[in-house]
Structure 1
Amino acid sequence: MLITNAHIINEGHETAADLLIVNGRIEKIASKIDAPAGTVVYDARGQWLLPGVIDDQVHFREPGLTHKGDLFTESRAAVAGGTTSYFDMPNNIPAITTRELQRQKYAMAEGRSFANYAFYFGGANDNLEEIAALQRNEACAIKVFMGASTGNMLVDNPATLNGIFERAPMLVVTHCEDTPMIKANEEAARQKYGEDVPWSEHPNIRSAEACYQSTLLATTLAKKHNADLHVLHLTTARELSFFTPGPIQGKKITVEACVHHLAMDDRDYAALGALIKCNPAIKTPEDRIALVKAVMEDRIDIVATDHAPHTAEEKANKYFKAPSGLPLVQHSLLMLIDLVKRGEMNMRTVVRKTSHAVADRFGIPDRGYIREGYWADLVLVDPHGSTTVHKPDVLYKCGWSPVEGRTFPARILTTWVNGEIVYRDGQVIGAPRGRRIQFV
């Protein structure tokens, strides 16, 4: 396939060019390419051609929670939003805390994912030897829940935490919230409100201080053992002090922000309530502004979604029973483009944080950039179009989105995964052909 007349945004530059795909990879990029015989020609008409989003944090719910979502349904939604690769979390049923369970999960994905995929290996209080035995391509990284966000995967044994950072053979990623603080805040809220805790109390219960103390612990352990650490979904201005601005290359400690924490603040609880209850919580307008600034100054290295679907029935419960998490992969790129159109970010930074930096940090060869020889994981965006989110168009198995009714100032036109069109003009096309991601 020859893509002509593209406006390529890649590696800090914007270029008008043609791009030739052969056998799933980018064969040539040039100002003008003549189509070889038998080549399908796709006219991009000057629209933005970007490297596909690599989402380093999703919960697609398989195995064990497939009433909420699964690898097929959520990856289908992902490619409709321009995400061509994703890393899925291990808090499944059963939790992915043994290498055998990890192998079984990879087997489940074969032939069922529209996007390329990799899986985290879960840390627990009792699987340090399994963690130490991990080989490079058995997992994208080791996930440690340092807050009780996901049931029995909380790692709260100090000796185990220390051992993970000391012996981890690959990158450690952390969910940082201090559980004792949260439990105390929950009890105080229950005493004050009973079971009818207002949604606006969520960022007070999952407090900034609980985040700060846990992030302090994670970064201290990483420095003690010279470990590679990636802190997920930062939510507060105060925590930014633990991270340094600058290029991601060479950093031992990196950090991610999520789209909803960049686009929403605690004023949104009034309209959206449980739909935006997530851990860690969406916090103040001042926190949101600080996070956006930190993305732009390269203090925050990666932007992801933490896509976490729950059924509408589950979300309809009162505060303590309504689960945390929200589905985002179908509209995350549009949400970031909205920030660009509002003047808070620029597209070169969006591309760097959602594609280039993920490939660099996790060591993904031949993906995350528009380069000759790389896999053709691409997304074409109409920056002058618009997308209004209607419920019938939501592709998640849960059937709802927190951005229903919103209109975004751009449109996802086409998504390529491994050189094949998988989404075009509002339709997911063909069978799922995503590949297992390899690492170096």
Structure 2
Amino acid sequence: MISILIKSATIINEGKSFKGDLLIQNGRIAKVGDRIDASADKIIDASNLHLLPGCIDDQVHFREPGLTHKADIYTESRAAVAGGITSYMEMPNTVPNTLTQALLADKFEIASRTSAANYSFFMGAGNDNLDEVLKTDPKTVCGIKVFMGSSTGNMLVDNEKTLEGIFSKAPILVAVHCEDEATIRENALNFQNLYGDNITPEMHPQIRNADACHKSSSFAVALAKKYNTRLHILHISTALETHLFENKLPLSEKRITAEACIHHLWFSDKDYPKKGNWIKWNPAIKSGEDRQAILEAVLDGRIDVIATDHAPHTIEEKSQSYIKAPSGGPLVQHALIAMLQLYEQGKISLEKVVEKMAHNPAILFQIEKRGFIREGYWADLVLVDLAKPTEVSKENILSKCRWSPFEGLIFSASVDTTIVSGKIAYEKGHVIDDVRGERLMFDRVKH
């Protein structure tokens, strides 16, 4: 493990921007200061670059095991580090679904061999595996995932008694996908009666509508309040839902938190005619008014983190008719630079981007010694060049699916270097293939 000295960077950290140096030794940040005179194995001149804590993505689907024709931990973690994401938390709707502690352990084992970024995996909750869920170790696993809406295999939790059991007994944070299945089914039936097989992507936000989201989210919030559950609601997609959350408490004291995703901050229903199934996500991308309300909730603290919900499918799968095409798409490689584009447009500050993509995920999940530029913390860092554009094209997409909803766009910024646990994982357009991330650990009491 080499020592690295980063010189003359513009450092963005904990609400401040300042020019300084940073020394990395033994995988950790050894020193941060105005000027550091020390010898190091590698010196990086960052005089034209901004230094940020590495992004922590609390919601990805890397598709391994069982769906590796779409993606796998190796390919998608490489795309992540190319995008400045140094740590991720991966979801349990793989095949088989991660519904036992043994299957959860299998995923950690795969990542230990193949992941370019730091990693953790959610334990999945189903209608009939509460005993397994309750064995989850709070110190070594990021959380429990509940799909309160349609999902793969046996992962839809629609039994109210089961939900009560999870919310009342969960030993750690419960992360939920909230869409009311009955509402969606009724809407889908109405559209099929009207249009038959000619339903188009433009109808997606009317089928998976705001009512379906709000009904499920408000039910989850009510359950969490009843049982004092540590609840985290994923991918908020409606203005209506933003009013379920508060910004009066510091994040470390909140019991109910929320996430916004890149696609809900970037696209709106006006993009469906051009983008079609390529922006078909669940929950659906909705109106421009919803998008604006989500951004406002991010800025004022009602929504706590920004993530991707990176969920690749093959080009062939997404090219099918609306009814057959699966929901989801790849985002980890371009999430940070998309947010830097919103900064360029004057919609968000760099300090706020860092807060929502690095600091807050670390606080919210109680991750040990990550998410901040602090002496003694793991050196998870990203150097970005705000003056060097990035064009998104099939030739430079690293996700196995080899497409992006951003294809053809030219972002005004680029990722220059990504450092994962003190090791350079990505540098000037190239992933360093032998670098492996570390398992995330959590500063929680084991029950």
TM class by smaller structure: over 0.9
Which string of whole-angstrom CA distances, capped at 9 and with x for unpartnered residues, describes residues 180-206 of structure 1?
110111111111111121111000000
Aligned-residue offset at 1:111: 2.0
Query: What RMSD in Å do the two structures reach over aligned CA positions?
Result: 0.9
TM-score relative to the length of structure 2: 0.97
| Distance in 2 (alpha carbons) for counterparts of 1:428 and 1:107 | 22
Q: Is the 8 A contact 2:97 2:153 kept in 1?
A: no
Q: Which range moved further: 125-134 or 369-378?
A: 125-134
Q: Is the 8 A contact 2:140 2:441 kept in 1?
A: no
| Distance in 1 (alpha carbons) for counterparts of 2:240 and 2:94 | 31
Match of 1:221 in 2: 223
Decide which of 434, 437, 440 is 1:434's aligned counterpart: 437
Match of 1:127 in 2: 129
Counterpart amino acid of residue 40 in structure 1: K
Match of 1:348 in 2: 351
Q: Is the 8 A contact 1:102 1:138 kept in 2?
A: no
Specify the SS of the correspondent of 2:94: coil
1:178 aligns with 2:193: no
Q: Is the 8 A contact 2:205 2:269 kept in 1?
A: yes
Match of 2:365 in 1: 362
Q: Which range moved further: 343-352 or 245-254?
A: 245-254
Q: Is the 8 A contact 1:35 1:41 kept in 2?
A: no
1:396 aligns with 2:399: yes
Decide which of 32, 37, 61 is 1:34's aligned counterpart: 37
Q: Is the 8 A contact 2:385 2:416 kept in 1?
A: yes
Q: Which range moved further: 125-134 or 71-80?
A: 125-134
Aligned-residue offset at 1:46: 3.4
Specify the SS of the correspondent of 1:111: helix
Specify the SS of the correspondent of 1:269: helix
1:21-420 alignment to 2 at 5 Å? Answer: 21-36=24-39, 38-246=40-248, 247-420=250-423
| Distance in 1 (alpha carbons) for counterparts of 2:106 and 2:393 | 36
Structure 2's unaligned 5+ residue stretches are none
Aligned-residue offset at 1:176: 0.2
Which string of whole-angstrom CA distances, capped at 9 and with x for unpartnered residues, describes residues 107-164 of structure 1?
1111200000000000000011111222213421000000013342000000000000
Counterpart amino acid of residue 238 in structure 2: T
Structure 1's unaligned 5+ residue stretches are none
Percent identity between the two aligned chains? 53
TM-score relative to the length of structure 1: 0.98
| Distance in 2 (alpha carbons) for counterparts of 1:309 and 1:46 | 34
Q: Is the 8 A contact 2:141 2:441 kept in 1?
A: no
Query: Residues 386 and 51 of structure 1: is their aligned pair in 2 closer, same or farther, counting only changes over 3 Å?
Result: same
Specify the SS of the correspondent of 1:7: strand
Specify the SS of the correspondent of 1:144: strand
| Distance in 2 (alpha carbons) for counterparts of 1:60 and 1:42 | 32
Q: Which range moved further: 40-49 or 363-372?
A: 40-49
Specify the SS of the correspondent of 1:137: coil
Decide which of 19, 35, 38 is 1:16's aligned counterpart: 19
Specify the SS of the correspondent of 1:153: coil
| Distance in 1 (alpha carbons) for counterparts of 2:198 and 2:68 | 29
Counterpart amino acid of residue 50 in structure 1: L
Q: Is the 8 A contact 1:112 1:432 kept in 2?
A: no
| Distance in 2 (alpha carbons) for counterparts of 1:87 and 1:205 | 29
Q: Is the 8 A contact 1:326 1:402 kept in 2?
A: yes
Aligned-residue offset at 1:436: 0.7
Counterpart amino acid of residue 119 in structure 1: F
Q: Which range moved further: 238-247 or 212-221?
A: 238-247
Specify the SS of the correspondent of 1:140: coil
Counterpart amino acid of residue 362 in structure 1: F
Q: Is the 8 A contact 1:96 1:102 kept in 2?
A: yes
| Distance in 2 (alpha carbons) for counterparts of 1:380 and 1:109 | 25
Match of 1:422 in 2: 425
Q: Is the 8 A contact 1:111 1:434 kept in 2?
A: no
Q: Which runs of at least 4 in structure 1 moved beyond 6 Å after TM superposition?
A: none
Aligned-residue offset at 1:345: 0.8
Aligned positions, number: 439
Q: Is the 8 A contact 1:9 1:348 kept in 2?
A: yes
Specify the SS of the correspondent of 2:113: coil
Q: Is the 8 A contact 1:16 1:46 kept in 2?
A: no
| Distance in 2 (alpha carbons) for counterparts of 1:152 and 1:196 | 29
Specify the SS of the correspondent of 2:56: strand
